[in-house]
Amino acid sequence: MLNIVLHEPEMPANTGNIGRTCVAIGARLHLIEPLGFIINDKTLKRAGLDYWDKLDVTVYRDYQDFLDKNPNAKIYMATTKAHKTYTQVKYEEDAYIMFGKESAGIPEEILVDNEDTCVRIPMFGDIRSLNLSNSVAIVAYEAMRQQGFTDLSLEGELHRLHWKE
């Protein structure tokens, strides 16, 4: 099962959207405090719609608490400071993909210790970053694609209506 990790997320709407994405792909969500909102924030629940109760979510006191409780985690760090793109790595089934807070990303001291697992989303020119929930969706779906979209519905169905008799 894929793991999405948010390091000190600030905006409840982004976290709600990310929670909804996690439910859609069967991923776990890990939230590292401090959070910029309370976990029962109405905006968080609104963005997650009726999916929040289906979400596998764990909250940690800080980054060290996260590491202590996930000692064998292979963690990819999504950052604009990475040397390779998110498509240049092979994500394990139980990979952890970490994203930083909206205003500052993942702290530099964490990135320096994990430089070989840092990945970036290519962007044009001097664009600083993408929206956090969009970034999570891009990288998470690449990980799922690499795994053959295991357990995801691959086909939809049109409901053909007969408008003319």
- Contact assessment for residue 15 and residue 44, using Cβ atoms and an 8 Å cutoff: yes
- Please tell me whether 103 is known to bind a ligand: no
According to the model, what pLDDT value does residue 153 have? Answer: 80
What is the tens place of the pLDDT at every residue in 16-65?
A: 899 999 999 999 999 999 998 877 756 666 655 567 778 899 999 999 99
pLDDT tens-digit readout, 31-42: 999 998 877 756
pTM: 0.90
Closest CA to 92 of 106, 73, 105, 107: 73
Give residue 49's pLDDT. Answer: 56
Backbone angles phi, psi at 34, to 5 degrees: -80, 145
Instruction: For the chain, list the domains and their CATH numbers.
Output: 3-146 (3.40.1280.10)
Tens of pLDDT along 122-133? 999 888 889 999
Q: Is 133 marked as binding a ligand?
A: no
75 annotated as ligand-binding: no
Q: What is the CA radius of gyration of the chain?
A: 17
Pair of tokens at residue 143: 């990980």
